[in-house]
Amino acid sequence: MTKPHVVCLMGPTASGKTGLAVELVQRHNFEIISVDSALVYKGMNIGTAKPDAQLLAKAPHRLIDIIDPLESYSAADFVLDAVEQSQEILAKGKTPF
């Protein structure tokens, strides 16, 4: 059995990852899963480089604004959520990015 592909884009803050991700999503059968630990929190828009509504309309990102900052959310919770999102994307015949 072959394992499904997942494409990862990593790099330092402010290196252009989001712009490149949007370009790649428009050219390939990808869906973005954000792995930025600050972006999971609702209302944490200052100092997080959270994509704006216009960019998110063009290239939706999963796992952004999913939890209230006052709620507990761990790395283990994130792994479970990322795996679930990946499985949903794969089920649609797309590649998690």
Residue-wise pLDDT for 4-39, tens only, equals 899 999 988 888 999 999 999 999 999 999 998 889
The pair of three-digit structure tokens given for residue 78, joined into one six-digit string: 């994130």
Domains in the chain: boundaries: 17-96
Provide the pLDDT for residue 88: 97
User: How confident is the model over 66-95, as pLDDT tens digits?
Assistant: 999 999 999 999 999 999 999 999 999 999
Alpha-helix runs per DSSP H in 1-97:
17-27, 53-58, 75-91
Q: Is domain 17-96 given the CATH code 3.40.50.300 in the classification?
A: yes
Judge whether residue 1 has pLDDT over 90.
no
Average pLDDT over residues 40-51: 85
Per-residue confidence band for 56, with pLDDT thresholds at 50, 70 and 90: very high
